[in-house]
Amino acid sequence: MKRILSGIQPTGSINLGTYLGSVKNFVKLQDKMPDYEFFIFIADLHAITIHKDKQFLRKKIKELAALYVACGLDPEKVNLFIQSEVPAHSQMQYILQCNAYMGELERMTQFKDKAKKQEKGVTVGLFSYPTLMAADILIYDPDYVPVGKDQKQHLELTRDIANRVNNKYNDIFTVPEPLIAEIGAKIQSLTDPTMKMSKSDPNDKSRIDMLDPENIIKKRIKSAMTDSIGTIKYDPENRPGISNLLTIYSVITNMSFKDIEKKYEGIGYKDFKEDLGEIVYQELKPIQERFNNLINSEELDDILDKGRDRANQVASIKVNKLMDRVGLGRKRR
């Protein structure tokens, strides 16, 4: 059976950017591609490349799991699991590290950005992060990996490593294709629309978190940065603020930019933003309700147990196979 795989780090609250750029896309794919087996996970090992408080991390892992399900991932269709509960990811990473070069990791823009922000020194984990991501992916031989635009470079590196290992060890990996959604792949910050909406932005006003209450959601949209032109028109080069709001509108309602522009001809930002605030709120409200029912439920643990068991089944076969090809240990019987 063909496979699709993706993951998200449990590093902060999930925001509208992650949801529209990634989780909503997973939900669409699970319904559109019933012939594929889905693996969606919580990348908790990735979260500790930068130090996290223990209690905070535990809480965020659980929250992300509940949000995945609340956003519509169906545990009958998707294997949902926590990365660190599948030890093969770390085992595989080590072997891949021995097939990756310092130079190529040094070129990763995400590493360069994050390294700059570290005051207490940059960990080896942050540097080798893309090899863990390659391991996450290659273990499961997925055909497609849906991600936001910012992960494209990591996917390219994963493909390079896969090809290199395939040449050395006789075609052991499927070389995966990224699946980047046409619109919504990058939702920008509400206060600086030239930057992505990010959970690590110190300014809370720059984003909407999935669990924000109605008044905050509406306030954030209302105060989102636009420009002084005043017309509702999609023009990301020259008018990134209003274009970002149009993107949010379009991804949620499935309306084209043209149709939205037509609908708001002669109407100003204030009314447009009021409508958009309501649209975002109506999208998030049912998700928040499901989240609250799930977060402390046994059901959530059962889902994660089931996902972990299936992931371990696939992953341990793959890592043993690779160890055999590399010549590690004794030949498995």
Q: Applying CB under 6 A, which residues contact ligand TRP? A: 5-9, 43, 46, 133, 136-137, 145, 147, 151, 154
Considering only the stretches 14-22, 51-59, 219-227, 232-240, report the one whose residues sit in contact with ligand AMP under the rule CB under 6 A: 14-22
Phi, psi of 6 (to 5 degrees): -160, 165
Quick check: is 196 catalytic?
yes
x-marked contacts with ligand AMP along 150-189 as a string, rule CB under 6 A: xx---------------------------------xxx--
Reply yes or no on whether 114 is catalytic: yes
What minimum distance in Å lies between the beta carbon of 166 and ligand TRP? 19
Binding residue for ligand AMP (CB under 6 A) from 4, 5, 17, 45? 17
Alpha-carbon dihedral sign for residues 212, 219, 18, 91: negative
Whether the Cβ atoms of residue 174 and residue 39 lie closer than 8 Å to each other:
no
Q: Which is nearer to ligand AMP, 165 or 246 (CB)?
A: 246
Q: Give dist(CA 157, CA 96) in Å, integer.
A: 11
136 binds, among ligand AMP, ligand TRP, none (CB under 5 to 8 A by kind): ligand TRP
b/e 246-276 (16+ beta carbons within 10 angstroms → b): bbbbbbbeeeebeebeeebeeeebeebbebb
Question: 151 or 188, CB closer to ligand TRP?
Answer: 151
Residue type for position 213: P
Q: Which of 18, 91, 206, 243 binds ligand AMP (CB under 6 A)?
A: 18
Q: Does 49 bind ligand AMP (CB under 6 A)?
A: no
Q: Answer whether 281's CB lies under 8 Å from 214's CB.
A: yes
Give whichever of 182 and 298 is closer to ligand AMP, judged by the CB atom: 182
188-217: string of b/e by CB count within 10 Å (b at 16+)? Answer: bbbbebeebbbbebeeeebbbbbbbeeeeb
Is residue 249 within 8 Å of 257, Cβ to Cβ?
A: no
| Phi and psi torsions of 163, nearest 5° | -65, -40
- For the bound state, the minimum distance from the C-beta of residue 44 to ligand TRP, rounded and expressed in Å, comes to 10
User: At 179, is the secondary structure helix, strand, or coil?
Assistant: strand
Check 52, 114, 222, 306 and give the catalytic one.
Answer: 114
Given the residues 199, 219, 222, 233, select the one marked as catalytic: 199
Do the beta carbons of residue 324 and residue 332 sit within 8 Å? yes
CA distances from 48 to 10, 56, 123, 224 (A): 10, 11, 10, 32
- The correct pick among 5, 8, 92, 314 for binding ligand AMP (CB under 6 A) is 8
CB of 204 to ligand TRP, least distance (A): 20
Q: Which of residues 147 and 314 has its CB atom nearest to ligand AMP in the complex? A: 147
Q: Which of 196, 220, 273, 308 binds ligand AMP (CB under 6 A)?
A: 196
The distance of closest approach from Cβ of residue 208 to ligand TRP in the complex, given in angstroms and rounded to an integer, is: 18
Per CB under 6 A, residues contacting ligand AMP are 8-9, 17-18, 21-22, 147-148, 150-151, 185-187, 196-197, 199
**Which residues does the annotation mark as catalytic?**
114, 196, 199
